Structure 1
Amino acid sequence: MPPSVSTESAPDWPERTSRAAADQPSLGGRQHGRPLPWRTVALGAIGSVLLLVGSFGAGGTLVHDPILGSGPLSVLRYGHGRDVAVTVVYVGFALLVWAWVRLGRGVLAHLVGSRGVLLATAAWLGPMLIAPPLFTRDVYSYLGQGLLAVNGLDPYGVGPSALTGPIPENVHPTWQTTPAPYGPLFIGVAKGVILLAGHDIIASVIAMRLVLLGGLVMLVCALPGLVRHLGGRLPVALWLVAASPMTVVHLVGGPHNDMLMIGLLSVGTLLVLDGRHAAGIALASAAMAIKATAGLALPFLVWIWASRLTGPLWQRFSRAVIPALGVFAVVFGSCTALAKVGFGWLSALSAPGMIVNYLSAPTAVGQAVHSLVSLFGETNIWPFVGTTRTLGSVLLVFIVAWNWWQARSGGVEAVRRAAIVLCCGALLSPVLLPWYLSWGLALACALPWTPRALSYVVGVSIALVLAYSPDGEQAMYNWPFVAVSIGAALLGALSLLRFDPLGLSQHLGRLSRTHATPREVQP
């Protein structure tokens, strides 16, 4: 959940001065006297390279791979070789998280500025640009939907299995016959990628990743203005959404079209805050044409527009909402016409609901109730999950309506409420996938944060990434692994606030003194 606006305090960690300064050595240029965090950047870069290497065997590899199917790297795809690849991926992820937490300490202690965070982001994202999909196979579904459109088929009426070839055969079995649940603009993007890269699936994956990366570029460019309006700190905002392992592993390593959605939404929000209301509503509408979730923020942007007008509340609102609806209709209609598709995606929005896991709060409640009832006899899970999901949707409608009304003053409060609603939209959706966390953070990152609130984000980010295996399958029912994941999440969260939460440095210090010779312990 986004934080309430509050004064940020520095974390309580012993190395705030000398040790923190040592962790950020100056081996190059400085920004306002702040050294660039070269060692931390290098640590994360090593982790990212290990993720790249391991992904060739453990990621969402191709069924028939022209590069990895034979040759020396093919050993990573099978048996013990694949086990090694999986281990390499998790070691790389651990190093990346370690580097991210170290970077966060420096940011909170005002020792690392925006330039240092951007350097880390670039170094950590670079290897992901050429990696096979990690922790998901969704990009093959994107390409399959684009291929359907190129071949004149309706991606809102049929699934990728309607075609044959290397792209459809790599779509996850769950989505083979599922129509696209994405907006018309994204279908047009997927279609353009297929037209550009042809049927070369490796080139298509890289091209899709580069196109979606434009969303992250838009977000990074919008953050200085959003921070100026919302009162946060730019290094903190960049650290939260650009350098985060969630971004590196899921949004870019995946990749996922949520990255393009949040980029358009963030720029649109900034334009509205800057007083360019129509242009901002247009970009936010384009974000909804990528993924419907962005539509949750649109009513809040209308309040910002209305707050700049004069007259009674409802008169101001009507004078803002009418042109806003006109802009929305033009943008959405144009996207639909250019993509040459209809409105079938609205009925396909429920497609992700086929996934049942306890990350979604309503689904988790339904699963728990079903488990209790099953103690007295075998029952079907769907009536329970369906009921709790319906209740979750009703609760979400109430949360949206209440926050929308509370945002009627516009300004910072409207954006904060929009971020809350986007977070609730993820938590109360029938299925929560890890990268859904980025929806609310795209706006909330520019608000003021307390270190403790940031530590919660660290823990949740680690736990959500580890909820899936590197090949994209669920890992959340492997209970020993879940226990390790929760431990890692707690350790990461505590490490942001405390230099050595396990007290290992003190233990090692006592151990070294115990085994030291009298000559060594003399002053």
Structure 2
Amino acid sequence: MRSPMVRGVVGSVVVGAASLVTSVVPPSSWVASFPVTGDLRASLPGRMVGLSFMVAGLGLMAWAWLSVGRQVMGGQKPPLVRMMAYWSAPLLLIPPLFSRDAWSYAAQGALVAEGFNPYDVGPGVLSGHIVEAVDPMWRQTPAPYGPLPLAYGGLLARLTMDPYVLMLAHRLLAVAGIVLIAWAVPRLAAACRVDPVFATWLVVANPMLITHGIGAAHNDVLMLGLACSAFALALTGRWGTAAVVAGAAAAVKLPGGLVVIAIAAVMSPLAGRALRFASLAIAGAVSVLTLVTVGELTGVGSGWLSALDVPGLVRSPFSIANLIGMAASGVLGWLGEDTAAEQALQIVRLVGMVTAVTLIAVLSLRSSIHHAARAVGIALLAVVLLGPSAHDWYFLWCLPFLAVARPGHRLVTTITAVSLIFTIAAPLNSSLRGATIPILTTTALAIATIAPLLNHLRTLHPMRKLPVRATAA
């Protein structure tokens, strides 16, 4: 398999086949009783075989991506968007990868269709096949998502309550998000004087975007596509439309609205802080008005703002605030200060969010148009690292903005390494919690696959400022 195109397709097919064994699915679905894979799902050795093939397939996809990267660094112009489409195609109809979130999306849409307020109750009030695959952790929690995906899910749930069909419908939203990203990234790169072909390789063809976006069907990808499109529209002078699209991004997940930082920089590129603040206020007001309007027009409302702390129930190791808070809580608990230990995590999380908000405010008022992409990328990264919760796919939020911000060799190497790790180690997700043998097996396989691929990073040598070439095909 010398051709990266073929290697990536084979890897994607292997991942898709392995998902029939490893992914959590409703017991009533056709996947659960599919010949061969259904038998493998029923035993621990069978699931270990599935996990092995999953990691191997992800490794092939990552290897293909690195090989294409060397071609791009060598001045070639491979058909990146076509490659990404071929690599994604085998993942379109499979069960969701790595996470059960897509089943929650389906159930939350069913709540809307049944007349429940998804911001007051969780999927646990429903019964039947629609809740079979929802993670028990989220069955009693309200939805922390914006009105757009919930209204969309509610509309489809009025047509069918089949959880698999609804999951595939939410995957279409992720596909739409990736299409928007593929449209916006080359334009943002050209405006920031970065090679559009290079930026398209680093973002659009990235296996982390393909597997966590299309494979896992996270609605974060739609949020990101709308945010990138808003920035690209602002660069054409249509900042009003851009602010509306930014509001739509926030109506999927709130962090998408941070792209107003870039919109304000475009509105007043050479202005002082007073005019910049006015630009930020105007763009922000248009975005907030759009967000509220979407909630009212869809009938879902804005109650989701009170549920934004729901993801914080997971104590993710990717959040610096979580790590510090859990360490402080552990020490205090060891010293016998049980009350202080319970409060320590919440206090540290609060400090982390205040720090993130302060950084965002500084970036909003001081970033020039030339550094607008970097400012948005840093702001989103701050929300991930300093927020109350962070999952591996959250790092996709900052990927396109940092990729077009004239990245130097160190930043490109870091982005590439993080993408490789979060792609291949993705099977180590919440679905494995407490399963010692699968965790140890997947960890060993991931390390064995990641280590040789990281050695390939030495062959990637982008220049600090890459020349502008034609938009990727």
Give the TM-score normalised by the residue count of structure 1: 0.81
Unaligned stretches of 5+ in structure 1?
1-22, 24-37, 500-523
Q: Paired residue for 1:516? A: none
CA distance in 2 between partners of 1:470 and 1:394 (Å): 31
Give, in angstroms, the shift of residue 123 of structure 1. 1.4
Match of 1:86 among 44, 51, 70: 51
Q: Paired residue for 2:15? A: 51
Q: Paired residue for 1:283? A: 245
Distance verdict in 2 for CA 1:145–1:308, change over 3 Å: farther
- Please tell me whether residue 402 in structure 1 is matched to residue 362 in structure 2: yes
Matched letter for residue 391 of structure 1:
V
5 Å-filtered alignment, 1:108-507, equals 108-111=73-76, 113=77, 115-196=78-159, 198-307=160-269, 314-315=274-275, 317-318=277-278, 320-321=279-280, 323-376=282-335, 379=338, 382-407=342-367, 410-469=368-427, 472-473=430-431, 478=439, 482=443, 485=446, 488-489=449-450, 491-498=452-459
Matched letter for residue 324 of structure 1:
A
Mean alpha-carbon deviation: is it higher for 269-278 or for 228-237? 228-237
Match of 1:98 among 33, 53, 63: 63
5 Å-filtered alignment, 1:68-83, equals 68-69=32-33, 71-79=35-43, 80-83=45-48
Residue 52 of structure 1 aligns to a residue whose secondary structure is: helix
Distance verdict in 2 for CA 1:458–1:484, change over 3 Å: farther
Q: Paired residue for 1:7? A: none
Give, in angstroms, the shift of residue 230 of structure 1. 1.0
Matched letter for residue 242 of structure 1:
V
Distance verdict in 2 for CA 1:283–1:151, change over 3 Å: same
Q: Paired residue for 1:33? A: none
CA distance in 1 between partners of 2:459 and 2:190 (Å): 29
Q: What is the RMSD of the two structures over their aligned residues, measured on CA atoms? A: 2.6
Matched letter for residue 337 of structure 1:
E
Q: Is the 8 A contact 1:227 1:233 kept in 2?
A: yes
CA distance in 2 between partners of 1:454 and 1:374 (Å): 41
Distance verdict in 2 for CA 1:241–1:271, change over 3 Å: same
Distance verdict in 2 for CA 1:305–1:203, change over 3 Å: same
Residue 130 of structure 1 aligns to a residue whose secondary structure is: coil
Give, in angstroms, the shift of residue 344 of structure 1. 1.3
Mean alpha-carbon deviation: is it higher for 141-150 or for 221-230? 221-230
Q: Deviations over 1:229-288 (max 9, x none)?
A: 111111221122222121121111001001100111111101111111100111011000
Q: Paired residue for 1:17? A: none
Give the number of the structure whose alpha-carbon radius of gyration is greater.
1
CA distance in 2 between partners of 1:370 and 1:485 (Å): 31
Question: How many residues matched?
Answer: 455
Q: Is the 8 A contact 2:59 2:424 kept in 1?
A: no
Give, in angstroms, the shift of residue 316 of structure 1. 6.4
Q: Deviations over 1:118-151 (max 9, x none)?
A: 2221111011101111100100111111111111
Mean alpha-carbon deviation: is it higher for 187-196 or for 233-242? 187-196
Residue 30 of structure 2 aligns to a residue whose secondary structure is: coil
Distance verdict in 2 for CA 1:257–1:331, change over 3 Å: same
Q: Deviations over 1:40-88 (max 9, x none)?
A: 1111111110100000010122232234325443112111222211111
Give, in angstroms, the shift of residue 302 of structure 1. 1.9
Residue 322 of structure 2 aligns to a residue whose secondary structure is: helix
Matched letter for residue 356 of structure 2:
L
Mean alpha-carbon deviation: is it higher for 116-125 or for 462-471? 462-471
| Identity %, equivalent residues | 29
Q: Is the 8 A contact 1:233 1:448 kept in 2?
A: no
Distance verdict in 2 for CA 1:447–1:490, change over 3 Å: farther
Give the TM-score normalised by the residue count of structure 2: 0.89
Mean alpha-carbon deviation: is it higher for 451-460 or for 45-54? 451-460
Q: Deviations over 1:324-351 (max 9, x none)?
A: 3553244223211222022210110000
CA distance in 2 between partners of 1:85 and 1:485 (Å): 14
Q: Is the 8 A contact 1:117 1:243 kept in 2?
A: yes
Distance verdict in 2 for CA 1:398–1:488, change over 3 Å: farther
Give, in angstroms, the shift of residue 170 of structure 1. 1.6
Residue 324 of structure 1 aligns to a residue whose secondary structure is: helix
CA distance in 2 between partners of 1:171 and 1:42 (Å): 35
Distance verdict in 2 for CA 1:480–1:58, change over 3 Å: closer
Unaligned stretches of 5+ in structure 2?
461-473
CA distance in 2 between partners of 1:57 and 1:388 (Å): 40
CA distance in 2 between partners of 1:322 and 1:449 (Å): 29
- Please tell me whether residue 63 in structure 1 is matched to residue 27 in structure 2: yes
Q: Is the 8 A contact 1:188 1:338 kept in 2?
A: no
Mean alpha-carbon deviation: is it higher for 168-177 or for 480-489? 480-489
Q: Paired residue for 1:13? A: none
CA distance in 1 between partners of 2:361 and 2:55 (Å): 42
Distance verdict in 2 for CA 1:471–1:329, change over 3 Å: closer
